[in-house]
Structure 1
């Protein structure tokens, strides 16, 4: 590498496949250990009812990845959206099914939120059930008072947390729960599936998070000196380029998730050395980001699938503990 190239690209690109490797190894060993109760491997069922090419691709990745680790994966296509609820209920009742996931958006409105609650909590590998969400927002990590049954976190926000841990953004010298203290994070996405829960998770871990969408900018924080147990939200006003630029001026991390091929995050807003992560299926940063970011993660899909399968193993573990108790 010449001196000029070294100056032009001071940071490095980190691939999701590299980050996910340690989880792949851990998950594969756990599936092997389940042979006595799941001899053919745990069964994950995915429901596809939207004909979205990105969802098709994600389903294909999920099948390939899960089968490589010893799981069984079954994609169930539902041509008539209105029959999806019945199909999910049928899978809820089927003892052979260990985990259920649905490829959203389907209706693109409150009906999708309703369907998220139709999936049985005990089989919800995506962590979208209201009990899991309530626990996450309130910084509660268990489902029971005895702290035997671990709560599930939404798999894409959880994947981004694991990526930040891998990149050493979390300070392991600090107590667990405070390890993002002093860090500033910008998230360009406030969807109920990823952006908002991610902002809450990172703020609950001690970060100051600026949550950006087309309407406004919100600040998620546990208050000065982390005085609150869980995050609080402050509205900073309507979205504007100036406000976004201001939020990014001293950001340690910028995370994007805009599902549009036309959107590109302005590289000039990124200060030198910022960590940049994109979880959208579209490329939210152009190649110039490599001249500014210290660490750049262009996609998160493989880590997300690992977290989904990890969630599924946790659900099986919880189910076995409940069975033993009864």
Structure 2
């Protein structure tokens, strides 16, 4: 008798996070201390508090120190400056939204680039969109990427959507991906990162569709954005072998009849954007990514500490070399 069960593989974020945690633990062994992450909570948003508590729990379970500072939003600017100047603080995370307007963007730029674990500083954002992957000319210090978009990339790497036979930076060449959500926090950065890695990305928002790509044969160094007048999900979904959705609403569901059979489906919304029937059509389904996002946050913090220690070692070496008397020839 034929087995009529769906052939979809459901992949849980916890299983993906384990491999990333092992990488973080190996890096921590070389530091020999607990990096301190300070979180700032200045809103009554219950989701922000849950994220803060989740961050603290994950930090404490994995060899990091965490301190939550609850600050009135009008005092947050000064509190961030104080944390920037505190040598004991390795990383800073702010739980947004706070003012829910452009003032939040201003606060993002106050956090020191040397402590910005979320990758929201201007230099990091500039590098991300310009496809600049390193902070130094020698290409030894990787730029920090925003946590949720990077978590999605790590999931795609785990699922082997990235083709490791191809050169680094081109490993999504040949992939067509739809990202449903174009927020400045997740959707647009994610579309840019995927396109910079070689994918053809359809970025779908409530009003329109844009195509992010690096041109035919990936001839362009960074992605460009092309408007798709008149396009909707009906045009994008049937073309896409990966569909990533993050619509923040409990009413929204990705229309399954438009999905390409065997598509890989990933949900990064706090709500389920895919109905249970997605397993009848998808080949792989990732229902949530939160646990990967938290581990990526720790990974970013570790990288910031590593960059700091390397800079200190380099500075000490230069000072030592300068102090050595030059022998006259």
Aligned-CA RMSD value: 1.3
Could you tell me how far apart the structure 2 residues matched to 1:58 and 1:286 are?
Answer: 25
Deviates more, 1:105-114 or 1:159-168: 105-114
Among 246, 265, 274, the alignment partner of 2:254 is 265
Among 231, 239, 244, the alignment partner of 1:250 is 239
Among 63, 68, 74, the alignment partner of 1:82 is 74
Among 270, 282, 302, the alignment partner of 2:291 is 302
Deviation at 1:5, TM superposition (A): 4.2
1:213 aligns with 2:205: yes
Structure 1 runs of 4+ off > 3 angstroms? 2-5
Deviation at 1:67, TM superposition (A): 1.1
Query: Map of 1:1-326 to 2, 5 A cutoff?
Result: 3-6=2-5, 9-35=6-32, 38=33, 41-78=34-71, 80-237=72-229, 243-326=232-315
CA contact (8 A) 1:260 1:282 kept: yes
Deviation at 1:104, TM superposition (A): 1.3
Deviation at 1:183, TM superposition (A): 0.5
Could you tell me how far apart the structure 2 residues matched to 1:43 and 1:5 are?
Answer: 51
Structure with max Cα Rg: 2
- Structure 2 residue ranges without an equivalent (≥5): 316-329
CA contact (8 A) 1:31 1:69 kept: no
Deviation at 1:204, TM superposition (A): 0.5
SS class of match (1:254): strand
Question: 1:249-297: per-residue Cα shift (whole Å, max 9, x none)?
Answer: 1201010111112221112221210000011111111111111111111
Could you tell me how far apart the structure 2 residues matched to 1:66 and 1:5 are?
Answer: 43
Q: 1:112 to 1:3 in 2, by over 3 A?
A: farther
Deviation at 1:20, TM superposition (A): 0.8
Could you tell me how far apart the structure 1 residues matched to 2:233 and 2:12 are?
Answer: 27
Could you state the TM-score of these two structures normalised by the residue count of structure 2? 0.93
Could you tell me how far apart the structure 2 residues matched to 1:172 and 1:26 are?
Answer: 19
SS class of match (1:123): coil
Deviation at 1:323, TM superposition (A): 1.3
Could you tell me how far apart the structure 1 residues matched to 2:45 and 2:229 are?
Answer: 34
Could you state the TM-score of these two structures normalised by the residue count of structure 1? 0.93
Q: 1:90 to 1:5 in 2, by over 3 A?
A: farther
Deviates more, 1:182-191 or 1:148-157: 148-157
- Structure 1 residue ranges without an equivalent (≥5): none
Deviation at 1:236, TM superposition (A): 1.0
